[in-house]
Amino acid sequence: MDPLEILTDLENVVPFFQPIFSADEHRVIGYEVLGRYVSKNAVYSLGPFFQDDQIPDEYKFEVDQLLLKQSLEKALELDEDVYIFLNRTADILMYENGETFLNELLSYEKKGMKLGRIVIEISEQNYKGDLDQFDHLLQYYRTYGIKIAIAKIDSNSNFFDRIGQLEPDILKINLQILKSSINGVAFNDVLYSLSLLARKIGAALLFENIEQDYQLQFAWKNGGRYFQGYFLSEPNADFIHRNFMKEKLKEKFHEFISYEKKKLGLFYEKAEFFQLKVQELVLKNKKTSYEELFQSLMKEMDQIAFRLYVCDEDGFQKSPNFFKGENGWLIQNEYVHKNWSWRPYFLENIIKMRNERKGILSDLYSDIETGETTRTFSYPINDNDFLFMDLSYQYLFEHDELL
Ligand code: CA
């Protein structure tokens, strides 16, 4: 589409609205405004126009303002708790120090559009201006109740920095982009970290570009509070009924919940299996030395575990490692007296095991030495000694409730 054609034919520039649904109510909670150009009965996205570096900010700003007016005018007919998501690059927001944009918003506030309903989706793509000034502007907007969403992930390190600095209200995650920018194995872990970070800073996760069933499930499972994408609803010139997807979402969630509950049930059964098995071996070897306990563990857990050791309550290792290499079990004495209290959840788990007198099957993580995905079953032998048993990937693979 020729930019000049668009600029000389502004009456055919119109906003489209893509609904955003919530996980807690299963109904429409907002719309993202997307620019469209209508020509000869075809509808074109204005995305390429806004991304074109050759087009001066002045023109982009003009088109943006036009879309803003049209969409806010139309949004006056919405319920008063429906959010309006506006895409803005840092350059365009900083244009005229952001004043014209804010004044337009304020004029609609007088007509009944509360500014707390406005969410600005920021993209800092290629922004070369002063970041401090930009952040200052955003803080100023926030004093009016305007919300901030971060959407673009250009480089991951920068993304995490900016999340920390801006503390956005919403993190918008594009599953397609994220997946292509991070290698497959780390993808789930990065997403998991994002969901933890979002929780810590009180930001909601919005997953966009949901196009298939499994992506919705993925978003739900990873703490997504808001969903958007063709699977739910495409962008339209008009608003849709708020309960448009309510039944379908309820049905889908029911499937996701059942599946997850079943998986968790099997996981707890597995944890119980380890509890009983280890308890039995510990009791059997109660009167003897740990040497004999390890002998029977190596025998019984030969196809299950690849590392065994005992620590005291402060995390100092009291035994060597019993490690299963390619040629069978071997003893690694160099691990005696090492301290593991610095590892995440270590002390929490010690206290939990001691209080509940029960073992714990850990979450999935990568072993720092072998690099393989593992879980650890830890078990309180008595008030001072705790057994740790790292499970082999092969075993996890064969029991997929553990993966
Ligand atoms: Ca967007």
SS (H, E, C) 182-240: CCHHHHHHHHHHHHHHHHHHCCEEEEECCCCHHHHHHHHHCCEEEECCCCCCCCECCCC
Same fold, 3-229 and 260-402: no
pLDDT of residue 177: 65
Tokens of 330: 């071997």
Q: If you measure from the C-alpha of residue 332 to the centroid of ligand 1, how many angstroms do you get, rounded to a whole number?
A: 54
CATH of 260-402 given 3.30.450.20, 2.40.30.10, 3.30.365.10, 3.10.450.50: 3.30.450.20
Q: If you measure from the C-alpha of residue 121 to the centroid of ligand 1, how many angstroms do you get, rounded to a whole number?
A: 6
- Inter-residue contact 159 to 178 (CB < 8 Å): no
The residues, ordered by sequence, that sit 6+ positions from 11 with a Cβ below 8 Å of its Cβ are none
Instruction: Flag residues of the chain having pLDDT under 50.
Output: none
Q: Where do the structural domains in the chain lie, given as residue ranges?
A: 3-229, 260-402
pLDDT of residue 384: 93
Q: If you measure from the C-alpha of residue 344 to the centroid of ligand 1, how many angstroms do you get, rounded to a whole number?
A: 36
Q: If you measure from the C-alpha of residue 176 to the centroid of ligand 1, how many angstroms do you get, rounded to a whole number?
A: 13
Q: If you measure from the C-alpha of residue 158 to the centroid of ligand 1, how many angstroms do you get, rounded to a whole number?
A: 19
Distance CA 177, CA 97 (A): 31
pLDDT of residue 110: 97
Closest to 377 measured CA to CA, from 367, 366, 368, 386: 386
Q: If you measure from the C-alpha of residue 143 to the centroid of ligand 1, how many angstroms do you get, rounded to a whole number?
A: 23
Distance CA 131, CA 148 (A): 15
Q: If you measure from the C-alpha of residue 243 to the centroid of ligand 1, how many angstroms do you get, rounded to a whole number?
A: 23
pLDDT of residue 288: 82
pLDDT of residue 40: 85
Supply φ then ψ for residue 374, to 5 degrees: -145, 170
Q: If you measure from the C-alpha of residue 60 to the centroid of ligand 1, how many angstroms do you get, rounded to a whole number?
A: 16
Q: If you measure from the C-alpha of residue 32 to the centroid of ligand 1, how many angstroms do you get, rounded to a whole number?
A: 7
% of the chain beyond a pLDDT of 70: 96
CA end-to-end span of the chain: 48
pLDDT of residue 128: 82
pLDDT of residue 183: 59
Q: If you measure from the C-alpha of residue 88 to the centroid of ligand 1, how many angstroms do you get, rounded to a whole number?
A: 8
CATH topology for the 3-229 domain: TIM Barrel (3.20.20)
Q: If you measure from the C-alpha of residue 196 to the centroid of ligand 1, how many angstroms do you get, rounded to a whole number?
A: 23
